[in-house]
Structure 1
Amino acid sequence: RESFLPGAILTRVASSHIRIGTFQFFSAQQDIASVQALADYVIERHYPEAGESSEPYSALLTCVVEAQARLIAQWMAVGFIHGVMNTDNMLVCGETVDYGPCAFMDKYNPQKVFSSIDSHGRYAYASQPDIGHWNLSWLAQALLPLMDDVEAEAINKAQAALGAYAKVFGETYQGLMAAKLGFATASVEVNQLFSELLELMAEQACDYTLTFRALGDRLASDQEATLAATIFTLPPAFEAWLKSWQQLLAQENIDTATAHATMVGKNPAFIPRNHQIEAAIEEATSKQDFTRFHRLVDVLAKPFTYSEENQAFAMAPTADEEVVATFCGT
């Protein structure tokens, strides 16, 4: 370092910190006994249902594949970008780890990258589902010796487990996106509707979080405090899409109150925006003032509950506030 920098201790909490890379470590040394011991521990700790299977290691792989698919679908639904999705940063329990370079999108851009070390965009927002599948293929490779004594049979079993990824991811993501638009379930029509919305958002450079929240706010009662009424309005280019959305809600017999309740519970008003985090860190490190930090933590603990007194924490960054890169030390 060119100078002394303030430091801090970050304690990460998860149900375990066993990663895909942990399996790779032993596999690379051809230490199959340790791979098996680790797999047995993961089954006991996280996936006891796999232990009841006649083929526990194939079942374990399936469990991890499905957990990762659901996790990454949730990332995509809220505009989260992990930033460093190498296998050593993917927990087999299906929880998110490695928080430094991660970020939530402001303006919607499928190719958005934040991590300063991701110069080629390998871990861009839209690439995350594919990278998740790639990582799981390495877990499958590590587990092959446990899945069957015949290599060809082990490969077939691994491919079958990996084949569930696309289905689970697709169903989870489509269900989440349907709910973000007020629908009870996904359908061909709903999927087309949210695909068209994302295209509009990209064209108009709309804030990801505020756009979805504003859609729900259009259905709010006059008595409710809404984010859209104060800091964000949808561009005129959305008018035709809005009509299609309202027509489909009516076609599926979903009333305004029901749609609004669904959307409010799926579309956060508050996310950990980069500029807010930067401001909290700056005040804590340079002034030893943790007021903003504690306020931000309190607001983020209730992301779906909007109040005008917390309006500043919902706002998108101005041009000079925008954070374009994140770092492992963030």
Structure 2
Amino acid sequence: MSTSPNQPDLPTSIPELAIEQEGFDAPSPSLVLLNDALATDLGFNPAWLRSEEGLRFLTGHGTETPGSLPVATAYAGHQFGNFAGLLGDGRALLLATVAGRPGLTGLKGQVGVPDKSTPTNAAASQATQLYEIQSKGTGPTPFSRGGDGKATLTSALREYLISEAMFALGVPTTRALAVIATGEDIYRGSQIPFDEQPPTSELQPGGIVVRVATSHLRVGTFELVARSGSDTMPRLINFAAARHRYDESAKRVLAGVVKRQADLVAQWMTCGFVHGVMNTDNASVSGETIDYGPCAFLDAHDPRAVFSSIDSTGRYAFGAQPTVAGWNLGRLAEALLPSLEETPDDALNTAREILGSFADEFASALTRHWLPKIGLPSSLADDPSATKLLRQWQSLLVKFGPDHTNVHRALISLTVPTDGNPLAEMPIARDEGQWPDAVAEWARKWESVREKKGVSKARARELMEAANPVYIPRNHLVTEALEQAGAGDTDLYLRLLEAVTHPFEAANFPTEFTLPAPAELGSFRSYCGT
């Protein structure tokens, strides 16, 4: 492991946000999964990670390993709109900070790759990026608030699968490095993933997931420091700026986070991802998706879709995600307010101006990411006819509720001769009888716009095939795979992992991997904190 002397790690830079803590003594830890390619990219020898010493490092016992000093980090946060006070890593440990090539978490044109739209830190090396290695499920810390600090093996496997699927889809995300079975059963109570499924066992095998991020700084980190009355904020701003290639000022950090969060949530919306618990302690200032608790993917397209068992009001519904992201950014602006300008009035005006850019940033990002899904290049993002066509398509999705993934894949049929009409024959959640005529009318408009803009059918097909996945982590498949893996059979899990990490390749996987959940299963619900 190696770190950059020009960019110290978090415990060195801001020691008041870190508490030294070792992982708990698991009865018989064993490596279940190791991401060899990612390990190598981060400078690890996969064989060493599989050794007894490597396993000790991954489970938070690597104090004898050079460059590793496990710590739990502090942060606060708003949860469901209410300030929850001090939170922190209640079941996670930051193990080390290592250097690797840029882009390992899916950030493009933002981390390590300067472009005209992204501020850069001139002192930071553009050849490498620093990454934090964190283990989750390593036992109690001073922030556990009475919890056992542990995690189930199935939740670790779930985060591994979904975070790697998100990376394969091109969405910035924490990455999964490893999953470890702890060798003990832990009590988590029973859960009912689908209405018509039996509850899970109250005892579950314990597990640890090891994940990678450019940092684990959250909006809640800034909230904690702002409320502490200490002199830590300037160092936190400088640390975030150096790590994430922002210019070293509160204004630049806020503007950079606004831009990245807008782009991130636009990508969530494009691929039908529902985070499920967008509290400010789950909002990363890096622009990476973090904390895959009650997340889910859409089957039928529905802005009102809510899957989290604890989101009774729909605060974090699929269609509400842009609004919540803007709200979270408002909390970041509040924390940074005294650092923005010399006078309160000037600071408020600056904050309003920067926050006011979020809506336009999001709309622009959503258009850029979605246009290729309908076979038009992102370069047409400012073209009125292209954007009108896209809005009409999105309105059809909302009105009729086709399967979000499959209907976009079916759009490819517009570019090639096919038997029947796969698009018109899609199963529809609402107003089924009106769908064939409505989609046929839209297809005629699509043909007109495509021809006027000089986009060949071959080019449109190329764009669609690269933007519209065949495979996503469908909720019912993930549930079934985890149930079998928890019982010791990982065959389905590994096949599903292979499919979702090659999402655009129509490979030799079961047809069932492309189908929505059977209606007889009932509604799906996801759970947090397992």
TM-score, structure 1 length as denominator?
A: 0.90
* Identity across the alignment (%): 36
**1: CA distance between counterparts of 2:522 and 2:368?**
31
Candidates 12, 15, 19, aligned match of 2:211? 12
Provide the rounded CA distance (Å) in 2 between the counterparts of 1:104 and 1:248: 30
When structure 1 is superposed on structure 2, of 127-136 and 179-188 the one drifting more is: 179-188
Matches within 5 A, 1:236-315: 236-237=436-437, 238-286=439-487, 288-315=488-515
The aligned length equals 317
1:159 to 346, 352, 358: 352
Partner residue of 1:170? 363
What is the aligned partner in structure 1 of residue 304 from structure 2? 111
SS of the equivalent of 1:11 reads strand
Q: Deviations over 1:164-219 (max 9, x none)?
A: 21121111101122111111222222222222223323333310110011002432
Q: Which one-letter code corresponds to 2:501 in the other structure?
A: A
Question: In 2, are the aligned partners of 1:104 and 1:274 still within 8 Å (CA)?
Answer: yes
Give the Cα separation in 2 of the matches to 1:115 and 1:293.
22
Q: Distance in 2 between matches of 1:34 and 1:267?
A: 44
Q: Which of these residues, 359, 367, 375, is aligned with residue 182 of structure 1?
A: 375
Q: Which amino acid is 1:242 matched to?
A: A
SS in 2 for 1:50: coil
**Aligned mate of 1:214, from 389, 410, 414:** 410
Structure having the larger proportion of residues in strand: 2
Q: Does 1:142 align with 2:335?
A: yes
Q: How far apart, CA to CA, are the structure 2 residues paired with 1:93 and 1:322?
A: 37
In 2 relative to 1, CA 294–180 (structure 1 residues): closer, same or farther, beyond 3 Å? same
Task: Kindly name which structure, 1 or 2, has the bigger radius of gyration based on alpha carbons.
Answer: 2
CA distance, structure 2, for counterparts of residue 5 and residue 100 of structure 1: 16
> Which residue in 2 is equivalent to 1:50?
247
Cα distance in 2 for residues equivalent to 1:99 and 1:244: 39
- Greater RCO, 1 or 2 (C-alpha within 8 Å, sep 6+): 1
Q: Is the 8 A contact 2:340 2:350 kept in 1?
A: yes
Q: 1:221 to 1:38 in 2, by over 3 A?
A: farther
Amino acid at match of 1:115: S
Distance 2:416 2:213 in 1: 37
Mapped to 1, the partners of 2:522 and 2:476 lie a distance apart of 6
Q: Distance in 2 between matches of 1:218 and 1:302?
A: 24
Q: Give 1:133's aligned amino acid.
A: G
**Secondary structure in structure 2 of the residue aligned to 1:7:** strand
Q: What is the deviation of 1:245?
A: 1.1
Which residue among 283, 292, 298 is the counterpart of 1:99?
Answer: 292
1:142 to partner: Cα distance: 0.8
How far apart, CA to CA, are the structure 2 residues paired with 1:309 and 1:217? 21
Structure 2 gaps of 5+ residues are: 1-187, 190-201, 429-434
TM-score, structure 2 as length reference: 0.57
TM-superposed deviation, 1:156 = 1.4
Distance 1:279 1:137 in 2: 39
- In structure 1, runs of 5+ residues without a counterpart are 223-227
Q: 1: CA distance between counterparts of 2:260 and 2:517? A: 33
Q: Supply the distance in 2 between the matched residues of 1:243 and 1:308 (Cα, whole angstroms).
A: 33
